[in-house]
Chains A and B, each alone.
Chain A
Amino acid sequence: MTDSKPPTTTTHTLPTPFTHTSPPPILLTQGAEALVYKTHFLDLSSPAILKFRPSKAYRHPTLDARLTKQRVLAEARVLVKLAGVTDAAELRVPGVLGLEWDVGRKVKGAGGEGVVRVKRGEDLQGKKTEDREVQGRVVAAGAWILMEFIEGRSVKELLRGVDEWAKRLGERISQEEREKVEGDVKALLRAIGRTVAAMHFKGGVVHGDLTSSNIMVRPRKHEQVNGHGHVEGSDTKPPDLSGEIVLIDFGLATQSIQDEDRAVDLYVLERAFGSTHPKQEDWFDAEVLQHSEGYRGTFKGANVVLKRLEEVRLRGRKRSMIG
């Protein structure tokens, strides 16, 4: 930093080396944990996702640095492990292309200045500061993972699309069409059950944050080539639910094989479904979990996890003990 302007807090600033990427990465979403950008890896024909975890201004810097580094490394390790599972065709995750767990750390020959987040003028304890040092340590500047771009839409978008289509057309939908769409939704739910089972039993991983936003449906290769992408917003057609399931966002994942952890993983998904997709809530248990083509039917030991899930459900606080 050669000029004398004091550093200011920034939002949405890219970490190095992406400050020099051309064309610049495009911000897709701002999730709870990270900013997700679409960019490319090496050349434009390989689209990639940059998941940048900026430091959070509300957290104490020590806590922030520890959490960010821990989470980015855990996520990368889980992704690499799952990508290495060869005997589960339905278990798909984005591939890891690159990673940095502390943008501010000094790396010989790589600049190492990075993006520095500093509260201008004062640190959290009211001590005046003009530079990067807080409590004798460099303020955390964030971390990033570069990973494979997954084409397609999230299950959340697709189910919302179905709800909107049904609401928009109402009476004009024939019984036949309604049943077909219902069948497609249920098939999707069963596929989700199978994929989660593969992650648990073949991958030995518990996702930790299973929601419908974290399950993608990617059109199969031949459909991509033909340009039959996922049509949404077409006036009379419901969204296309076909494709392969890809799980994303392993920021809270752990490498656990405990029934308890697997049951809690399913519980998180069940609750997330109930809150976000009340119209499909009733089908969740039957299709995703209990169906012979869902979670239950896929691997030995699934029934033990499902039994445990019954116990986990009862743990909700202030739950009436009736029934």
Chain B
Amino acid sequence: MTKPLIALGLEGSANKLGVGIIRHPPHPISSFKPRPPAEILSNIRHTYNAPPGEGFLPKDTAQHHRQHVASLVQQSLAEANLTSSDIDVICYTKGPGMGAPLQSVAIAARTLSLMWNKPMVGVNHCIGHIEMGREITGATNPVVLYVSGGNTQVIAYSNQRYRIFGETLDIAVGNCLDRFARTLCIPNDPAPGYNIEQLAKKGNILLDLPYAVKGMDCSFSGILAKCDEYAAQMAKGTLTDPNTGEKITPEDLCFTLQETVFSMLVEITERAMAHVGSNQVLIVGGVGCNERVQEMMGSMAGERGGSVYATDERFCIDNGIMIAHAGLLAYSIGQTTDLVDCTCTQRFRTDDVWIGWRND
């Protein structure tokens, strides 16, 4: 039997600071049976939100993370009813993400490692999302749509790598939504994308937006530019529906933007599914919380005789537990990151990570 393992995970690649503690129960070493499910002992998060009309800046975000990480770790241990000696390994987000926030969290992780004398594992943020999604939903080999403020990728597993089949050629879809929220001065609390979603539910006029799907890739900066143009016209009062002459509202613009970009995401996911021969879809990342994208994906998957797997906001939105989980998977096959290598990087491709813990 293997030993039970407990990991502490620290995540702060964007404006969400997450701390999580996970336990992998013992299991027979060379069993072909699936591992018993991981136990989540603690999963807490503190989000930094800029005022409406602004985005979060690296230096302010890093300051927020530095302010809160110590108390969040203490809170996490208390919630899990553990002490530092119970932790086997400290996992942190090596990248990708924003430089200053990543650095702050990496420093915290290194400090804990030295204080408590524990090994460390640096984790790829995208891999964290994927592995946590698989763990929570039980999806065995889905096509993964990873959509957040910082990333938009369609991924499928093959030969020890999560290979990127399609991605955005410029900005992430979440970034497009967040920046449009800024244009409309929508509050950033709890998340700009969430607020756009609520407004979109009340919109019903679909305007023309450039639909930019190129094979399995897509691009959003043109759409954002056009949307910003519409918003400017709307502010002047000159924007009306070409068919009915009705005035266009912010709700209509949010509706238009969501319907267009989500159609694009569903399309590239469907392409990957057709190419790979899969009918399972797993949606991870902050934008995955959006009910409309889940609904659209469900409709597409249903027509193909498949299904959609999605998690709730505890795991969709950046969190520490996914880092702890992915780090522990690596640790369990003997991987650690030496202190001198516990750096962080803004550029870290999902397919650069060797997935040694899967044997399919």
Contacts and interface: CB of A to CB of B under 8 A. Distances in A.
A316 B349 contact: yes
A59 B263 contact: yes
A63 B348 contact: no
Interface in A268-323: 268, 271-272, 274-276, 278, 315-321
Interface residues of A, number: 38
A195 interface: no
A292 B304 CA distance: 42
Nearest to B271: A32
B360 interface: no
B206 A63 contact: yes
A275 B349 contact: no
B214 interface: yes
A44 to B, nearest CB: 29
A211 interface: yes
Given A60-B263, A268-B216, A274 B163 contact: yes
A67 B211 contact: yes
Contact of A315 (B169, B274, B304): B169
A30 interface: yes
A208 B158 contact: no
Most chain A CB inside 10 Å of its own CB: which residue of B95, B161, B266, B274: B274
A227 interface: no
Contacts of A31: 274
Nearest to A137: B243
A57 B295 CA distance: 11
B273 interface: yes
Contacts, number: 100
Interface residues of B, number: 46
B243 A209 contact: no
Contact of B347 (A58, A272, A276, A319): A319
A57 B217 CA distance: 22
Nearest to B300: A58
A135 interface: yes
B259 A60 contact: yes
A62 interface: yes
Contacts of B211: 63, 67
B348 to A, nearest CB: 6
Most chain B CB inside 10 Å of its own CB: which residue of A58, A252, A272: A58
A234 to B, nearest CB: 23
A271 B164 CA distance: 9
A3 B269 CA distance: 39
A58 B297 contact: yes
B2 interface: no
Contacts of B348: 318, 320
Contact of B158 (A32, A213, A278): A278
A77 interface: no
A136 interface: yes
B163 A268 contact: no
A194 B164 CA distance: 27
Nearest to B295: A58
B163 A275 contact: yes
A252 B214 contact: yes
B276 to A, nearest CB: 8
B215 A208 contact: yes
A135 B96 contact: no
B267 interface: yes
Which 5 residue pairs of A and B lie closest in terms of their CB atoms, listed nearest first?
A58-B296, A32-B271, A58-B299, A32-B270, A32-B274
23 contacts: A30-B304, A31-B274, A32-B274, A56-B263, A58-B297, A58-B299, A59-B266, A60-B263, A63-B259, A63-B260, A125-B204, A210-B215, A211-B215, A252-B213, A252-B214, A268-B214, A271-B164, A274-B163, A275-B163, A276-B275, A278-B161, A317-B168, A321-B347
Interface of A: 11, 29-33, 56-60, 62-63, 67, 125, 135-136, 208-211, 213, 252, 264, 268, 271-272, 274-276, 278, 315-321
Given A33-B271, A213-B274, A275-B165, 8 more contacts: A32-B273, A60-B206, A208-B214, A209-B216, A268-B216, A276-B158, A319-B349, A321-B347
